[in-house]
Amino acid sequence: MFDVGFAEIFLLALVGLIVLGPEKLPRVARTLGGLIRRARSSWYTLRRSIEAELAAADISEPLKKSARDLEQAGRDVGDALRKAGDADLTIGPEAATGATAGDPPDKPDG
């Protein structure tokens, strides 16, 4: 953000010492340090909250899509079950041989 080196800090300290004097300079430096610390903390808090909101938005969209897909799959299964219930289907070993439930079983040759 700001590229402040040792020379700039030394120059600011020297000007502060001349303008404020040796009695007030430590108090002003502490106050400035506290203000900078609070500003930095507020900035990081804001940044974390924005990143958390963006992460939640990135996660929520695929979850919503998955929920819609599951809901559609459930509807498809329900429709298939209703159609199967409406049709006259034979389920079991008789279906494989083509026999109905009332037919006698085949006798083996022999």
Phi, psi angles (nearest 5°) of residue 25: -60, -45
Which alpha helices (DSSP H) does the chain contain, by range?
Answer: 6-86, 93-97
Give the model confidence (pLDDT) of 31-41 as tens digits. 989 999 999 99
| Residue 105, amino acid | P
**Number of independent structural domains in the chain:** 1
Residue 83 lies in a domain: no
Residue 1 lies in a domain: no
Residue 68 belongs to domain spanning = 7-73
102 band by pLDDT with thresholds 50, 70 and 90: low
Q: Which SS3 state, helix, strand or coil, does residue 107 take? A: coil
Give the model confidence (pLDDT) of 47-92 as tens digits. 999 888 888 877 777 778 888 888 888 888 888 887 877 665 555 5
Residue 92 lies in a domain: no
Residue 99 lies in a domain: no
- Is the pTM here over 0.95, yes or no? no
pLDDT number for residue 97: 57
